[in-house]
Amino acid sequence: MPIYEYGCTKCDHVFEMMQKISDPAPSTCPQCGGDVEKMMSTGAFHLKGGGWYSDGYSKEKKAASCDTPKASSCDGCPAA
């Protein structure tokens, strides 16, 4: 069931309720009895486990190593 967040227009009390989508919204504040309004709240989203974009593509790729020397000449050129 989703968790809905409500705020009182009289005392600014904020509270959450776990209820079905079909359940009626509360009309009064549990603290002061004032009118309440449904609030917009952000949800949490986490990518857990493997196979997500953040696993394979978000990490920086390592640059080519400078430890191996470059070939100074091609195979067809005479040795220096």
Letter for the amino acid at 70? Answer: K
User: pLDDT grade, residue 80 (50/70/90)?
Assistant: low
pLDDT tens digit string along 8-64?
999 999 999 999 989 999 999 999 999 999 998 777 777 777 776 766 666 666 665
3 sits in the region (left: phi over 0; alpha: psi -120 to 50; else beta) called beta
Cα three-residue angle 10-6-4, rounded to 5 degrees: 175
Query: 1-41: which CATH topology?
Result: Rubrerythrin, domain 2 (2.20.28)
pLDDT of 44: 76
pTM: 0.52
* Whole-number Å distance between alpha carbons of 4 and 13: 14
Give the domain ranges of the chain.
1-41
The tokens describing 63, both together, are 């640059």
